[in-house]
Every structure is written in structure tokens, then in C-alpha cells.
Structure 1
Amino acid sequence: MPAGPAPAAVSAADQALLERYLEHVRVERRLAERTVTLYSLDLEKLAGCAGAAGVDLVAVQHAHIRRWVAQMHSAGRSGRGIALILSGWRGFYAWLGRQGAIAGNPVQGVRAPKAPKPLPKALGVDESVQLAEFEDGEADPWLDARDAAIVELLYGCGLRVGELVGLDVTASGLARGWVDLAAAEAHVLGKGGKRRSVPVGTAAVAALQRWLAVRGQPGGEAQPALFLGRRGTRLTAQSVWLRLKQRSLAAGLATPVHPHMLRHSFASHVLQSSGDLRAVQELLGHANITTTQVYTRLDFQHLAKAYDAAHPRAQRKR
């Protein structure tokens, strides 16, 4: 893949500067040979850009660097790759400054283009329902009832795993969160110590009732936590991650599921059905709606797939 302007001939003066700098990082800074090789490649690119622009390395300006960054980006170089190149260039010009060869570092303040944030991973509706309705006949009934309730709360309420494991059976002054089954509401302590209430669906209420019927106290000592491990202590977030991965694979899903994937699925599916971004923001407990807006991209992906599958003008000829 092209990474920028075609290399041009390097002047003898510029070549001498590059060799002196590489000797400096090799001998005085004692950088690894692999690192020195990478520096050399980055500086060859710099010299090529300068040669193509008809300027000496010591005459390069801030505007030149910005232009070359734009050229690399448009040629397909990733933001991370450009950032690494800029780091090498910045070090070279810092060294030139200490040598008294330039008045200011032209790379200072230049940033690589930001890489687009990856979309959160979410399950499709069918996959989510498949996981939620899965009953593991080979598992311990106690574990199966607990894990089923966990899946229903994560997917049905969009809880964070930390909020889930912080739930107690009943409300109290010490409780971080609890579920009011009569009112079908979960009260949780979210990020930044902010409390919020979210509705609990019929399926989640039923799953919780099944779990509470068998929950008991495995350790023989009263424990306020809603979800317990086999030793009777509060279930940890790490245990939820592990159990959910195992359950999703047992349910026949192609991809191992983690707790936040169910939160993403909850948000995406509610937004697909309602189109109400503000409501999704409230349900998720996001302080800023820009955090919630990432789910509009997931929603668009869903619409695009539906269009490709259904619209006659989207069909490709065989």
C-alpha cells in the first residue's frame, strides 16, 4: 500500500545529517538495532518528502509536516502508523535543535489523524434470544438458574457487570444496588457513584424468581449478595465473564459472549425498536449522550443489512 509521496534524491548535506543522527541514537542513546532500523526507515521517508518538496531538512516547516501527514493518511497509512513516524521525525528535529541547526521543531504540535473508534460488539436479536432462552440440562440446576438470571439482567436491563455483582437481595443502607421484583425495577450504583433505576422485564423477573427459589446460603452464613458463588460469597466480575463465555458456547453461539457485549446488544436492540436515543442514554446511565450515539452506528448497520437483503435495487446480479 502506498504510504506517501514518491522518494526523491537526498542531498549530500541531508544524508550526512541523517547518518550523524542515527549514529547518535545507536551509540549515545544505545537503542536496539531493530529500533535504529525503524528510525532509519522513517527518516528516509522524511528525506524523500523533503526532496520532493525541494527543501532541505533544516528548512522544513510546520506546514510541510502537516501536508505530508495528510498525504500519508490519504494514501492509506493508519493513524497509529503515522503517529510512530511523527515520533521518529520529532526526535530527529529535537536533536537538530540541540545542535543549534534549527530554531524550532517543525513536528511539535502535529498530531496523527485519530483512528475511528471500533464499533461495540453486539449480538443479533436472534442470537441474544438464543442465549437468553438456553437451558443447560447438563449443568447443575443451581448454577443453571443463577447463570440464566445473570444473562436476563445483563441483556434485559443493560447492566454493567460491576453493577450486576453489586446487587443485593434486598434494599438496605449498605446496599450498592438491589432488585425490586414487585415493582419490576433494578436500582444500581453506576459509574461516578450515580444511582439509577431501570425496568426489569417479565422474563428477567421470572428468571430471578427461579434463582431466588434455589439460591439458599451455600456457606451456611447469611449473605446479602444477590448472586453467589459456590462458597457462599459474592460472585466476582471475573467469574461472570467466565460463566458467560462457557454458557454462550454451550448455547451454540459462534462467538464467546462477554458481559459488556450483552449491554451493547441491549442498547442496540432498544434503539432499533424505539429510535429513542435519549431513552437509551437514561437506561444505560451515560452522563453524555455522545457516548450513547455510538449505537446509532450499530443501528445504521442493521438498517443497511436489511436494505441489502430486501431492496430489489440492492440485489447484485448473479
Structure 2
Amino acid sequence: MTPQAAVDAWLAELADQRRLSPHTVGNYRRDLEKLLVASGETPLANLQVHHVRRFVAQLHGQGLAGRSLARLLSAWRGFFHWLGERGLIRANPCDGLKPPKSPRLLPKALSVDETARLLDASEDDDPLQDARDLAMFELFYSSGLRLAELVALDVDALNSIAHEGEVRVLGKRSKARLVPVGSKAREALAAWANVRGELALPGEAALFVGQRGRRISPRMVESRLERRAVRLGLPKHVHPHMLRHSFASHVLQSSGDLRAVQEMLGHASIASTQVYTHLDFQHLAKVYDAAHPRAKKRSG
């Protein structure tokens, strides 16, 4: 089996048996292409730890960040494990290797005022798209959805939203969860439901559709949100994940319930959610610096 054939076989197994998303499989493919380029003429079975360590160092020197290298090493390690299970290599050359550390960047979030400004505005140029956009963005902020989760929603989700005040979404690795939907989002979704039929093609199952009447694409959602934020003069590059971050940080600031935020975001590990405690501390630090007499800089 050639190295490329082995890569193709492993990725096909990830897609067919482990049901990884096309986006994740695509990332793995790019990571493994880097391995094939770095290994050159050296057979995969002959690669050892010092080879892989050198490959990682070279990629780090080319500007690949620690988080990207961690994902890359994870892909390589899984691939070599798969090869080992089939007797194609004797040892996993990635075992024991760790990526270089890089500073952990806190996710950027909108303030409560900025979020209200974004959601209270109206586009007016196209009432149908405006109703759809507001419903999408209110739902992002209300329930902390991922972009893929939002575009995958079908129109029958409106039932549980209207009657139960919650929506069922399929997260990473097809893990389902129920998340609450706030009153503002329910109002926006009801308004969109009233006019959706004017844009959606007959029989289209998607809750949110584009101008051609089919399920809206993730890129179009990003583009519409960015356009809205620029028009309103918001001082940040606003993207769907920022609304998810804003939801998490605002709920945590108000409730302090990290476990509840973890459940609503669909994080498998509490460690993924703990980053929002740092955002909360940033908020507290700003209040302290502005209000505490001993925090103010002395003049002169």
C-alpha cells in the first residue's frame, strides 16, 4: 500500500465508521499531506521519533502555531496507530511527542451593549432576508449554537421552540442536546416563520434558506453577519462564533454557573468552558480599575 493510499483508506474509515464531519476529515487530510511532504522518500515504516520531532520543529519554524501543531500531531498519531493495527509499522513515532506551547488566546466577545446594537438594528433593504437574518442571529446569541448546528436545523424545529422554548441540535460527533431559546429569539423566529414560505422552495426542509430557496450555506451566514456589523460600525470583526462566545460569557457573568454553560455549549470537557471564567475576570478587572479608589492611577 502506498503512503497516499494508506492516508485515503484511513480518512475513508474516519468518515464512514466514526462519522467525522467533512470539515474535520478535510483538516486531517491537510495535516497528513504535510507528513507525506516532510517524510519525502523515507518510508512511513522507517520513521522514528527524531524524524517526527524534526518535522514538527520545521513546521513551527514556518509559522505553524502550537494549537495547529497539536491538531496535526493528533492526526499523525491516529494515522500511525491505524497503520500499527494493520502490521504496517512496528512503533508509533508520535508517541510521547508534545507540540510547542503557544499563548492561549481568549475568545473575543461582544459587550452586552454591542450585542443589543447588533440585534436591535434592521437592514430594511430586503424584508425577507432581514427577518431571516434577525432570526438566525438572535438564535445564535440566545442559545450559543455553533454555525454548523444552526444551518442544519430543519423547519420542524419551530414546533419545540414555540411550545417548549427549546431546540434540539446535533453537535460534534452527532451528539444531541437540548438548549433553551429566549423570548427575543422566539419572537424573531415566529416572524421569520410567517414569511419563510415566500423565500423557501416547495418541500425544502431547512429552517433557514438562501435567496435561491435552498438551505443557507455557512459562508452566507458569515457574510450576512459581517455585513450587518460593518454597516453598524461595530469595532470588531463579528463572526458567528463570536455570538456563541458572547452568549457564554454573558450567561456566566450573570449566573456564575459554569456547568450549565458547559451543557448549553455542548462541551465534552469542563476545561473547554473554563476559558469563559477568564473572560468573566476581565470584566471584573475593568470594573475594579474603574471603580476602586486604590486602583486609580495617582496624578503627578
**Smaller-chain TM-score range?**
0.5 to 0.7
Equivalent residue for 1:261, pick from 242, 245, 250: 242
Matched, 1:225 2:206: yes
Q: Residues 307 and 231 from structure 1, CA distance in 2 versus in 1: closer, same or farther, beyond 3 angstroms?
A: same
Equivalent residue for 1:183, pick from 145, 164, 168: 164
Larger CA deviation: 109-118 vs 187-196: 109-118
Q: Distance in 1 between matches of 2:198 and 2:99?
A: 56
Equivalent residue for 2:119, pick from 92, 111, 132: 132
Contact residue 169 and residue 179 of structure 1 kept, 8 A: no
Equivalent residue for 1:122, pick from 88, 99, 109: 109
* SS of aligned partner of 2:163: coil
Contact residue 280 and residue 292 of structure 1 kept, 8 A: yes
Equivalent residue for 1:150, pick from 136, 139, 148: 136
- Residue 167 of structure 1 and its aligned partner are, at CA, apart by 0.6
- Residue 191 of structure 1 and its aligned partner are, at CA, apart by 0.5
Q: Distance in 2 between matches of 1:202 and 1:111?
A: 46
* SS of aligned partner of 2:108: coil
Contact residue 165 and residue 235 of structure 1 kept, 8 A: yes
- Residue 113 of structure 1 and its aligned partner are, at CA, apart by 5.3
Unaligned runs of 5+ residues in structure 2 are 1-56, 63-95
* SS of aligned partner of 1:216: helix
Matched, 1:281 2:268: no
Q: Distance in 2 between matches of 1:112 and 1:223?
A: 45
Aligned pairs (5 A) from 1:1-318: 84=61, 114-137=101-124, 139-170=125-156, 179-218=160-199, 220-318=201-299
TM-score by length of 2: 0.66
- Residue 251 of structure 1 and its aligned partner are, at CA, apart by 2.2
* SS of aligned partner of 2:211: coil
Q: Residues 182 and 122 from structure 1, CA distance in 2 versus in 1: closer, same or farther, beyond 3 angstroms?
A: same
Q: Distance in 2 between matches of 1:194 and 1:208?
A: 24
* SS of aligned partner of 1:222: coil
- After superposition, the C-alpha distances for 1:194-251 in whole angstroms (9 at most, x for unaligned) are 0000010000000001111111153642211100011110001111000000011122
Unaligned runs of 5+ residues in structure 1 are 1-79, 86-108, 172-176
Equivalent residue number for residue 66 of structure 2:
none
Q: Distance in 2 between matches of 1:272 and 1:117?
A: 21
1:229 aligned partner, one-letter code:
G
Structure ranking higher in helix proportion: 2
- After superposition, the C-alpha distances for 1:68-107 in whole angstroms (9 at most, x for unaligned) are xxxxxxxxxxxx99x649xxxxxxxxxxxxxxxxxxxxxx
* SS of aligned partner of 2:113: helix
Q: Residues 156 and 219 from structure 1, CA distance in 2 versus in 1: closer, same or farther, beyond 3 angstroms?
A: closer
1:251 aligned partner, one-letter code:
L
Q: Residues 262 and 219 from structure 1, CA distance in 2 versus in 1: closer, same or farther, beyond 3 angstroms?
A: closer
Identity %: 56
Q: Distance in 1 between matches of 2:154 and 2:169?
A: 10
- Residue 132 of structure 1 and its aligned partner are, at CA, apart by 1.3
Q: Residues 233 and 113 from structure 1, CA distance in 2 versus in 1: closer, same or farther, beyond 3 angstroms?
A: closer
* SS of aligned partner of 1:196: strand
* SS of aligned partner of 1:256: coil
CA radius of gyration, larger in: 1
* SS of aligned partner of 1:306: helix
- After superposition, the C-alpha distances for 1:49-83 in whole angstroms (9 at most, x for unaligned) are xxxxxxxxxxxxxxxxxxxxxxxxxxxxxxx99x6
Number of corresponding residues: 210
Equivalent residue number for residue 15 of structure 1:
none
1:181 aligned partner, one-letter code:
A
Please, what is the CA RMSD of the aligned residues?
Answer: 2.3
Larger CA deviation: 218-227 vs 261-270: 218-227
